[in-house]
Chains A and B, each alone.
Chain A
Amino acid sequence: MVTRGFAGKAGNFDQSMRLPPGQHVVADFPVLTAGPTPRIKTEDWSFTLKDGIRPVKSWNWTEFNALPQTRMTRDIHCVTTWSKFDTAWEGVLVDDILGDAGIEPPTGFTFAHSYDGYTTNVPTADLVVGKAMVALRYEGKPIPPDHGGPSRLLVPHLYFWKSAKWINGLQFTQKDELGFWELRGYHRYGDPWREQRYTND
């Protein structure tokens, strides 16, 4: 249905090839968080890779920073319709985490865990072959706490809630379980180009 009198704000059309349906470009940074911002000291930080309930390997901050660091500049898309172009991140590719642990992905499903107890589910295929990283720096600086620092998952081709803030682990699961937001009305997969925002989209 065309809305009477609505033309859209000038400038919001320009980038349409680059902009998934229903999104608009902002200069700000989207924030969607269910609770208060946790403050995690890097001295206390650790990251654990698990296969089911079995821990495969853990890293402390120094060890994790010693893994190969990769830069990624990507457009990000928040489910609340904000998109931000050319955000520059640096961190450890999920491929390099697996490499350091000496394993191949054991299952097709992954659960990301965060310090504040939140989780999100992502198919393993969307995390590997250079598609995703555990980011440690944003625009050349440590990631601010309200944007997920010290470390957040970056899966830029999915809606940004999938890029779990304050990440402290990845866990391979036998089936596609639903994470925190996915249990609360958000889409299981979250592809911005197919507008998979909510459960039945």
Chain B
Amino acid sequence: MNWQNAIITRIETLSPRVKSFFFRRPEPFSFRPGQHVLLRLTAPDGYRAQRSYSIASAPGLGTAEELELAIERFDDGEVSPFMHDVAQVEDEIEIGGPIGGHFNWSPEDGGPVLFIGGGSGVAPFMSMLRHRAAIVSQVPVVLVFSARLREDLLFFDELSKLAASGDGFSLMVALTREAGAHPFRAGRIDTEFIAGIVGAMKMPVRQVMICGSHPFVETAAEGTIAAGIDPAIIKTERYGATDVQAEVRRLAGALKR
């Protein structure tokens, strides 16, 4: 692994739970959209914690561009609360990578493609879409973005602009905890919703990519397969471990509402 001390140049709040961190890399590297890097934190006694984060920025034309990581805060976590609460502009953070040779897509790979992102799982798609826009590609792409509330829609203005440009990219939003936020769909993405999107595509979908927490990816993948998509064209990236207890609590909470 190639490690380097990257410098935080900017921190932006994207939503109540997600901040983007921009890094300047002393040794720039090129990467493919969809790849991730490792952040490694070291305590004075040598204890280390390391986590993976998808690169949200585009590879760029040069290699000097800042690297953007969109990090969601998990209150009981180790690395994400540190990044949100302690890390500041000018701090040095160790970065390793880039890694990941599977969950990648560039316009050269062709389309139409369907991206399905849940919450911070939209990050790798930002890299792909930014790259697609930068090279003025017209490969058809649909992004289905699922978030809890409107305020959790990361990069929404940028995505809306991209979708309005008429270059073959369209955006569909589903809000799981907010009803009546027209024109967004209320509720989870399900088979019917995916079948509708796939049916409206002019050509058969060539690749489906799903990214988010493990339960989100499971549900979206099930829905996609039930909508008649060949499992062999579905790629997934899963962010969290399955915490069965937490999932049960979460579902129970959602039912009470």
A3-B94, A81-B51, A200-B1 known; A184+B241 contact, CB < 8 A? no
A146 partner residues in chain B, CB cutoff 8 A: 214, 218, 242
Evaluate contact between B43 and A31: CB separation under 8 angstroms: no
In the complex, which of the residues A5, A26, A30 contacts B82, with contact meaning CB atoms closer than 8 Å? Answer: A5
Residues of chain B within 8 A of A37, CB atoms compared: 218, 221-222
A158-201 near B? 1/0 per residue, CB < 8 Å: 00000000000000000000001101110000000000011011
For B99, give its contact among A4, A116, A183, A198 (CB under 8 Å): A198
Residue of B whose beta carbon sits closest to that of A117: B232
Give the distance in Å from the alpha carbon of A103 to the alpha carbon of B48 in the complex: 45
* Other-chain residue from A8, A31, A33, A35 in contact with B47 (beta carbon distance below 8 A): A8
In the complex with contacts A8-B49, A26-B241, A31-B214 CB distance below 8 A: yes
Interface contact A1-B42, CB-CB below 8 Å = yes
Residue-wise, chain B 100-117 has the 8 Å CB interface mask toward A (1 for contact) of: 111100000000000000
> Is A2 engaged at the interface, CB distance under 8 Å to the other chain?
yes
Whether B231 and A116, one on each chain, are in contact in the complex, defined by CB atoms closer than 8 angstroms, is yes
A11 and chain B: residue at smallest CB distance: B78
Across-interface contacts of B87 in A (CB, < 8 A):
5
B235:A38 contact, CB within 8 angstroms: no
Q: Does A17 count as interface, using CB distance less than 8 angstroms?
A: no
Do A36 and B234 touch across chains, with their CB atoms under 8 A apart?
A: yes
Number of interface residues of B (CB under 8 A): 47
> Are B51 and A31 interface neighbours, CB within 8 A?
no
A65 within 8 A of B: no
Residues of chain A with a CB closer than 8 A to B94's CB? 1, 3
B interface secondary structure, majority:
mixed
The answer for the CA separation of A58 and B149 in the assembled complex, in Å, is 51
B43 near A36 (CB under 8 angstroms)?
no
Once the chains bind, are A2 and B241 in contact (CB under 8 Å)?
no
* Size category, A interface: 35 or more
Residue of B nearest to A79 (CB): B52
Which chain A residues border B238 with CB–CB below 8 Å?
A: 31-33
Identify which of B222, B225, B231 gathers the most chain A CB atoms within 10 Å of its CB.
B231
Q: Is the CB of A34 within 8 A of B236?
A: yes
Binary per-residue interface labels of chain A (13-40) against chain B in the complex, 1 for a CB within 8 Å, 0 otherwise: 1000000011010111111111111100
**Whole-angstrom CA separation of A82 from B173 in the bound complex:** 32
Q: Mark B41-81, 1 if CB is under 8 A from A, else 0.
A: 11110011111100000000000000000000000011000
Of the A-B pairs whose beta carbons lie under 8 Å apart in the complex, a sample of 23, sorted by A's number, is A2-B44, A3-B42, A3-B94, A5-B91, A6-B82, A8-B43, A8-B47, A8-B78, A12-B49, A13-B47, A22-B40, A29-B244, A30-B241, A35-B236, A36-B224, A38-B231, A81-B50, A117-B232, A146-B214, A185-B99, A185-B100, A198-B1, A200-B2
A-B residue pairs, 6 tightest by C-beta: A184-B101, A36-B221, A28-B241, A9-B78, A5-B86, A28-B243
In addition to A3-B41, A24-B78, A36-B231, 9 A-B residue pairs with Cβ atoms within 8 Å of each other are A4-B92, A5-B82, A28-B244, A28-B246, A31-B214, A35-B221, A35-B236, A80-B51, A197-B1
